[in-house]
Amino acid sequence: MAHIPSGGAPAAGAAPMGPQYCVCKVELSVSGQNLLDRDVTSKSDPFCVLFTENNGRWIEYDRTETAINNLNPAFSKKFVLDYHFEEVQKLKFALFDQDKSSMRLDEHDFLGQFSCSLGTIVSSKKITRPLLLLNDKPAGKGLITIAAQELSDNRVITLSLAGRRLDKKDLFGKSDPFLEFYKPGDDGKWMLVHRTEVMCYDYDNDGGHDFIGEFQTSVSQMCEARDSVPLEFECINPKKQRKKKNYKNSGIIILRSCKINRDYSFLDYILGGCQLMFTVGIDFTASNGNPLDPSSLHYINPMGTNEYLSAIWAVGQIIQDYDSDKMFPALGFGAQLPPDWKVSHEFAINFNPTNPFCSGVDGIAQAYSACLPHIRFYGPTNFSPIVNHVARFAAQATQQRTATQYFILLIITDGVISDMEETRHAVVQASKLPMSIIIVGVGNADFAAMEFLDGDSRMLRSHTGEEAARDIVQFVPFREFRNAAKETLAKAVLAELPQQVVQYFKHKNLPPTNSEPA
Q: Which candidate, 365, 353, 363, 368, places its Cα nearest to that of 288?
A: 368
pLDDT for position 22: 38
Q: Are 280 and 38 in contact (CB under 8 A)?
A: no
DSSP state of 480: G
Q: Side-chain half-sphere of 26: how many Cα atoms within 13 Å?
A: 28
Percentage helix, strand, coil for the chain under 3-state DSSP, each rounded to 5: 25, 35, 45
The pLDDT, as a whole number, for residue 109 is 93
The CA distance from 510 to 503, in Å, is 10
Specify whether the CB–CB gap between 273 and 404 falls below 8 A: yes
Nearest CA to 387 out of 335, 346, 334, 440 is that of 346
Q: Walk along the chain (518 residues) in steps of 10 and give the mean pLDDT of each run.
A: 50 38 78 88 91 95 95 96 94 94 91 96 96 85 94 84 81 71 83 72 56 90 83 92 91 90 91 96 96 96 94 94 95 96 97 96 97 96 97 96 96 92 96 97 87 79 92 93 88 92 95 76
* DSSP H stretches of helix in 300-459: 307-319, 360-371, 384-397, 420-430, 448-453
244 to 111, 215, 237, 247, 248: CA distances (angstroms): 73, 18, 11, 5, 9
Beta carbons of 157 and 16 less than 8 angstroms apart: yes
- Count H helices and E strands in the chain, helices first: 11, 26
Q: List all residues 6 or more positions away from 503 whose beta carbon is below 8 Å from its beta carbon.
A: 470
pTM of the full predicted structure?
0.81
DSSP-based three-state secondary structure for 505 = helix
Length of the chain: 518
Tell me what pLDDT residue 174 has. Answer: 66
H-helix or E-strand spanning residue 238: helix 238-243
